[in-house]
Chain A
Amino acid sequence: MTRTNLKELTDVLEEIRKTDFPDIPAEIIEQIVSAQYDNQDDRPTARIKTMQIVSEFLQSANTAQN
């Protein structure tokens, strides 16, 4: 779920993703952006959440392949 006020930012990332890296789902990028935005005042939490999102995605990507 994207915040409307982050639309500019997510639009830019989506453009790049769509064109150059379509293997990466849009939701992953949105989730990372939200994790960062919602925890601007708490870098450790933002970092952990981001790493979790990436890790879960890569695990599921691996499982899907298998």
Chain B
Amino acid sequence: MLHFLSMTLSNFGPYKGTQTIDFSNRSGVTIFWGDNGRGKTTLLNAFRYALFGTIQRRNGVLRSLRDMENIEGRDEGHYGFSVVLKMDNDGTIYELTRQYRPLKEVTVPNSDDDYEKVMFLKKDGSFLSPNDTEHILNIIMPEQVSRFFLFDGELLQEYEELLENETSTGDRIKEAIEKILGVPVLTNGLVDVRECLENYDKLKSKAAQKDTKTRQFGLQLAAVDDEITEHSKLIESQKAKLSDLYKEKMTLTQKSEETEQVRGWITSRDNARRLLQQRKDSLSQVRQNLCTITKDAWKGMLAERIQLVADELSQQIAALEKRKQNKVVAEKFIIEIKKACQDHKCPVCEQEISDEYIGILEERIRKSESEFSGLSEDDKEKLLSLQGKLSGIRALHTADRQREIKILEDQVGTLQIEIGSLSQEISELTDKITKYGDTSGVAGIAQQLAAVISKIDITEKGIKDEQSVLDKAKESRTNINNLINRQASGGDLLIATQQYALCEQISKIFETGMTKYREKLKKNVEKDATEIFVHLSSDKDYIGLQIHDNYGLSIVHKSGRLVPGRSSGFEHIVALSLIGALHKNAPLRGPIIMDSPFGRLDPTHKQNIVQQLPEMAEQSILLAYTGEIDNQLAREALGNTLIREYHLVRRSSMNTNIE
């Protein structure tokens, strides 16, 4: 178990001069209180720097180590910085020194190039070689698992990725968890034992070939071995290809998500352009139609006036024709009357007509002849002329095209409005796309992604088919092996067979062990995480945690359902539960250093976390800002597990004292 004893900082970050923190060799909790910007995260970085030589910024990577030099110290001519970390690992005392110092020949350093990085490790007072130093550090605190020891509460969202499959962060965390739990010991052990097994298999095969009884089988075995090697190699290369394809898929998926918006814009713009062209073509067509109609539409406007003239002419013609008709009728009547006068007899009743009456009738005849004289030559000419004019006017075709023109004008209006809107839309989208930057390749992402997914399917199927062939070959191998085993009666072949059998047993122990250990670990981690969780959580409806294959944890509701999605507060609590559970189950044990583990938790949850700290690790170091938790309540909750409290006190904006 690793335990930090003390840390000495020299001009590191805001810590001017040399300042030592004594953690004591007792188990328990050390609290550092400090306002924002006083150097709490820098303390976390001091541990990270000492152990791994790196500094981690929340907003990105540190530009240069030189940025960690204390500014006031530098102004006073004290260049560089150092961290000395004293620790106990299972009874062995180590003192790790890491320095960033100016090169010997440099008086006033100006850039990173003027500095050198120095590290040395003492074990029980004696200096270790660089190789041994590196080896020891990799064993007692591998960088890959540092996230479980140097815990930055601000970076908790990474743990949500454990619940998602196929994320690179999720994979890294899973790998780190398995590493801290010791799983690689088994997985690597199995790989190496299997290699031994292959070697003994080859020896057996050679022995079988030499032995007269089993020569034939030996040769068959060699042939099958070649086949197996070939297929295995093929599968390996296909798996490597598959891995690359998955990486490519992830990159493209990420790009696709990042560029979803701009692709949407590009698609919308292309559609708008297509539509705009259609509208323009339609407008052109409609205008053409309008022009065709307006060529003659003016005639329709004259219909009223033409009708008036036609009506006038018709009246005149009617009057003349009436006169003509009257004369025809009158003439018939006059002939009858004239005959009556001549015959002195009424043609109707055949009575005699007196001379007096004949005089009246002759007068009437003269009047009628005058009144119903019919049309003069001029009148006849006039009638003909009028009839001709009327006929001419009637021949003037005047279709009313007003309604058609209205429809077309309305269409023009609508199209112009649509064209305006589309042009505006295209302009805005073009603006957005231009602001985005280089869009070459964006449009093709969807097709690329589809192509990669298709390749993945084909490759997976290929691997499956190949695996099938491989399995058959292995089966055949086993059968041949069994025949050899039955035939092996002595000498080298028997020895080789026995050695192979033993080696196979060792391999099976590791193989089975790997599966069982993983299952056991997950059960234990789930159980321990649940125990910590129910102590930390104040929500009594949440009864525990359920672990997934990736070591992600879901909250279990009392109804048995898994709680989908959770607040950042509960994200904190679940992550802390996982860390606590890992510390309990890991072969690698050490202190937890927590920077701002409380986030946006309410006072109850904060209190619960403080109370649980001694259970989570043998040594806990807490970095909190003043007021983040109630210091009085914290002291009461921790009791005698609280070893020491430090305050990060401002001397100036570039100078913090650890008191």
Contacts and interface: CB of A to CB of B under 8 A. Distances in A.
A8 B508 CA distance: 18
Contacts of A6: 182, 185, 587
Given A6-B587, A58-B499, A62-B499, 10 more contacts: A12-B516, A16-B512, A24-B506, A29-B509, A33-B185, A41-B138, A47-B195, A54-B506, A61-B499, A65-B498
Interface stretch (B186-194, B427-435, B475-483, B541-549): B186-194
B65 interface: no
B542 to A, nearest CB: 28
B66 to A, nearest CB: 29
A41 B139 contact: yes
A26 to B, nearest CB: 10
A3 B185 contact: no
B182 A37 contact: yes
A16 B96 CA distance: 41
Nearest to A34: B185
Interface string B512-527: 1100110011001000
Interface string B133-146: 01100110010000
A24 B195 contact: no
A24 B184 CA distance: 22
8 closest residue pairs by CB, A with B: A41-B138, A50-B192, A21-B505, A5-B587, A36-B185, A13-B513, A58-B499, A54-B196
Given A6-B587, A37-B587, A62-B498, A54 B503 contact: yes
Interface of B: 1, 134-135, 138-139, 142, 179, 182, 184-186, 188-189, 191-193, 195-196, 199-200, 495, 498-499, 502-503, 505-506, 508-510, 512-513, 516-517, 520-521, 524, 585-589
Contacts of A58: 200, 499, 502-503
A9 B188 contact: no
Contacts of B498: 61-62, 65
Contact of A12 (B135, B517, B585): B517
Interface of A: 3, 5-6, 8-9, 12-13, 15-17, 20-21, 23-24, 28-29, 32-33, 36-38, 40-43, 46-47, 50-51, 54-55, 57-58, 61-62, 65
A57 B199 CA distance: 15
A40 B506 contact: no
Nearest to B511: A16
B513 A62 contact: no
A51 B503 CA distance: 10
19 contacts: A8-B517, A8-B520, A8-B521, A8-B587, A9-B517, A20-B512, A21-B505, A21-B506, A24-B509, A36-B184, A37-B139, A40-B184, A40-B188, A41-B139, A41-B142, A42-B138, A50-B189, A50-B196, A54-B193
A15 B498 CA distance: 23
Nearest to A58: B499
A37 B185 contact: yes
Nearest to A12: B517
Contact of B192 (A3, A24, A51): A51
A19 B625 CA distance: 55
Contacts of B138: 40-42
Contacts of B499: 58, 61-62
Nearest to B501: A23
**Which of B142, B193, B524 has the largest number of chain A CB atoms within 10 A?**
B193
Nearest to B134: A41
A2 to B, nearest CB: 11
Contact of B139 (A15, A29, A40, A62): A40
A1 to B, nearest CB: 13
A43 B195 CA distance: 14
Contacts of A12: 513, 516-517, 520
Contacts of B135: 41-42
B140 to A, nearest CB: 11
A28 B507 CA distance: 12
A51 B184 CA distance: 17
A31 B331 CA distance: 153
B494 to A, nearest CB: 9
Contacts of B200: 58
Contacts of B195: 47, 51
Contacts of A36: 184-186, 188-189, 192
A2 B588 CA distance: 14
Contacts of B191: 47
B505 A24 contact: yes
Nearest to B183: A9
Nearest to B517: A12
A3 B1 CA distance: 11
Nearest to A22: B505
**Which of A16, A29, A54 has the largest number of chain B CB atoms within 10 A?**
A54
A54 B200 CA distance: 11
Nearest to B138: A41
A39 to B, nearest CB: 8
Contacts of B588: 5
Contacts of A37: 139, 182, 185, 587
Given A6-B185, A21-B505, A43-B188, A13 B520 contact: no
Given A6-B587, A58-B200, A16 B495 contact: no
A9 B587 contact: yes
